Amino acid sequence: MSIKQPLDKSDLPLNGILVLDFSQFLAGPVAAMRLADMGARVIKVERPGTGDIGRTLAFAGLEKDGDTLSFHIMNRNKESFAADLKNSEGLAQVWELVKKADVIIQNFRPGVIERLGLGYEDVEKVNPRIVYGSATGYGAEGPFKDRPGQDLLAQSISGLPWLNGRAGDPPIPVGLAVADIFTSTHLASGVIALLLRRERTGKGGLVESSLLESMLDLQFELISANLFDPSVVVNRGAGNSAHAFLPAPYGLYPTKNGYLAIAMTPIPALGKLLGVDLDRYEDPKSWWSEQEAIMKALSTKVATQETDHWLAILDAADIWCAPVLTLPELVEHEGFSAIDMVQKTERTGKDGSKVTIPTTRSPMRIDGKTVKHSKGAPHVGEDTEKIRKEFGI
């Protein structure tokens, strides 16, 4: 069931939950954003003046109203409380918020939050019902723990770049912050799980995740296979291959006007549909041993016609295939419109004008309805006085 209207905030599952977001950059803020999407009230605790350093970390160099686009979209639907955690007065004010909070999110390097006196063990003594979410680069122990917790570095240590590309290519990292994004998802789901446990038992708890653990989890099939059989290692495919562990025809093929993706399909049947003689490859073992020759033959044929020509043939035969869309093609496609993934957030700019930021919505639907919020990211300390009055601090 799908209803093209957003859910009322009162119907959101985390309505009434108070989250303190001490995090910066990406993994922590996005985890808190996911909780806000589900209805939680998120107060972002920031340094006075400069705020979250993510305010200056620009994706594609884009910024608006003094903050980067990245900050706007990762901190939508939050409030900002400015406090210097190294100042006794500021720290005392934050403790008053901690006492009333349901959730804390932080992603400092190991040991930093503890030195500030706001580690889980300190907070739990004051607020035993707290659900405490902590994200790091590589966990709190081991030889990597003090290395900068940055996406490319975590991808690299995890070996992920060796899965991309084809035989003979150098390691190719994923061109998105996949370590941060997956960590944010794991952290948010852990927080929600502990909130459910607290509902049943009254007990809060600590959930921890890291960029490295998230990248290892992403590769759970590969790592499990290697642990089961150490001879299983990454040998990237030849030709048009899109997967080091799947045979022909699995890959991307150039057409006359773009690219066509073809997934798992019996080779002789595919050859008949495309008009390529591949009958000699009836044995599935040959789809591995002759991968390069098969893909070369397919590629030569597919390049003779436009993408839609091949889609019409393959779709009619229920072959697993798809066009490879460019970014402009995607956002203009009726399929993108149909899934209703876009929302717009707003805030009052520093000059008093209305600042509107288009972005994606939560990828979940609740009760058949999309989850959208119009509240934009806050200015540094925008809500400090309001929060002080509300909480009597």
Per-position DSSP letters for 171-229, written without gaps between them: P---SS-HHHHHHHHHHHHHHHHHHHHHHHHS--EEEEEEHHHHHHHHTHHHHHHHHH-
Answer yes or no: do 343 and 382 share one domain: yes
Amino acid, single-letter form, for residue 392: G
The pTM assigned to this predicted structure is 0.95
**Catalytic, out of 146, 180, 318, 351:** 180
Neighbours of 356 (CB within 10 A): 13
Answer yes or no: do 286 and 170 share one domain: no
The reported pLDDT for the residue numbered 5 is 73
Could you give the C-alpha distances from 344 to 116, 128, 156, 359, in angstroms and in order? 37, 38, 34, 6
The reported pLDDT for the residue numbered 166 is 93
Structure tokens at 360: 């994606």
Do 380 and 82 contact (CB within 8 A), yes or no? yes
- Burial-class residue 353 by CB neighbours within 10 Å (0-12, 13-18, 19+): exposed
Answer yes or no: do 171 and 290 share one domain: no
- CA-nearest of 154, 205, 158 to 181 is 154
In 35-87 the beta strands, taken as DSSP E runs, fall at 41-46, 63-64, 67-68, 78-82
The reported pLDDT for the residue numbered 1 is 53
Answer yes or no: do 274 and 386 share one domain: no
Do 262 and 319 contact (CB within 8 A), yes or no? yes
**Is there a domain that residue 14 lies in?**
yes
Q: Give the angle subtended at the CA of 16 by the CAs of 14 and 17, to the nearest 5°.
A: 65
Report DSSP letters for 325-358, one per residue: --HHHHHHSHHHHHHT-EEEEEEE-TTS-EEEEE
Answer yes or no: do 276 and 370 share one domain: no
Give the mean pLDDT per block of 10 residues along the chain (393 residues).
70 97 97 98 98 94 97 98 97 98 97 97 98 98 96 98 96 98 98 98 98 98 98 94 97 98 98 98 97 97 98 98 98 98 98 98 96 97 98 96
The reported pLDDT for the residue numbered 3 is 52
Collapsing DSSP states into helix, strand and coil, what is residue 253? strand
Answer yes or no: do 205 and 288 share one domain: no
Collapsing DSSP states into helix, strand and coil, what is residue 154? helix
In 248-301 the beta strands, taken as DSSP E runs, fall at 251-254, 259-262
Residue 374: give its domain's CATH number.
3.40.50.10540
Q: Using a CB cutoff of 8 Å and minimum separation of 24, what contacts does 355-361 make?
A: 355/64, 355/65, 357/64, 357/69, 357/72, 357/73, 357/76, 359/72, 359/73, 359/76, 360/73, 361/37
Answer yes or no: do 175 and 76 share one domain: yes
How many structural domains compose the chain?
A: 2
The range of the structural domain enclosing residue 369 comes to 3-218+339-391
Answer yes or no: do 384 and 352 share one domain: yes
- Based on the residue annotation, tell me whether 315 is a catalytic residue of this protein: no
Answer yes or no: do 118 and 204 share one domain: yes
- CA-nearest of 274, 254, 270, 244 to 323 is 254
**Is there a domain that residue 377 lies in?**
yes
CA atoms within 13 A on the CB side of 184: 25
Neighbours of 126 (CB within 10 A): 10
CA distance 75 to 73: 6
Answer yes or no: do 209 and 301 share one domain: no
- Of 323, 349, 376, the one marking the end of a domain is 323
